[in-house]
Structure 1
Amino acid sequence: MKKDSSTKRPYEKVSKIKRQNLVKLVFHQGIKIKHAAKQLKINYAAAKTVISQHRCNVILHNIQYKSNQRCGFQKINNTNRSFGLISKLAGEIVKATSHTIPEQKNV
């Protein structure tokens, strides 16, 4: 049986600007997808698709681990006394710092 075309939901393409705004609202400001979609006047199903695409294509591909563990650790020895911390949010670097541990004097 053929369905009537008037019962189908209309497809709305989400513009690039709205996609970027949606990602900022959801990942940077922590707003739920449903509320962000309502603010931007985007269909909720389309908003969910945009967010899942962003997670798969951007965030997961930009993850770089130097070890098998998410947070690596290493014993500090006399030759290597510096380390770096990188904070990422939604696949983008938020803050990167490097630190050096001063040598301890033996008493």
Structure 2
Amino acid sequence: MKFHVHLLLSLIQKIIWRQRFLKFFLINECLQQKVIIEVKMKCKKCQSKALEIAVGRKGVTSVAFKGESKNQLEVIGEGIVDAAGLAETLRKKVGYADLVSVEEVRER
């Protein structure tokens, strides 16, 4: 009898942990983020390379140049966890890149 109770408690505990994990995963997966990276680009080829790198990331839904001199890359997507990694890749492939902000996109 004790064995069955122990087995039942173990199964219940696994189900609870699985539900917590799925709840956490679904909440974080559905959040949209807006990442703004300032990039120094010398030519049009550098701009297209920066766009290509940003669009190639998983979860990206929108990429655009913003700012007065079009030197800020705005990347919007779901679950863009590695904004620093994106800035580092742009720094290596394009030139100077500085992570300006990372924020949650709110629905209107």
TM-score between both structures, scaled by the size of structure 2: 0.31
TM-score between both structures, scaled by the size of structure 1: 0.31
Answer 1 or 2: which has greater helix percent.
2
* Larger RCO, structure (CA 8 Å, separation 6 or more): 2
Which protein is bigger by CA-based radius of gyration? 1
